[in-house]
Amino acid sequence: MKLPYGFMLDGQGNIALDENKCEIVRQIYKSYLAGLSLASLSEMLAEKNIPSPRGKEKWTPAMLDKLLFNKKYIAVVGMEQYFAAQFEKDRRSRIDQNTGKRKAARYDSRNVLSGLLVCAECGRSYRRVQRASGEIVWRCANRVEHGNRICKSSPTVTEEEAIRFVCGTLGIPQLNPKMISDLLISIRVESTGTLMPEFQKYESSEMLFSYPSFM
pLDDT digits (tens, 9 = 90+) for 135-145: 999 999 989 88
Strands (E), 58-141: 117-119, 126-130, 136-140
The answer to whether residue 201 scores a pLDDT higher than 80 is no
Of the two residues 151 and 158, the one the predictor is more confident about is 158
Pair type for strands 195-199 and 184-189: antiparallel
pLDDT for the residue 99: 60
The answer to whether residue 31 scores a pLDDT higher than 80 is yes
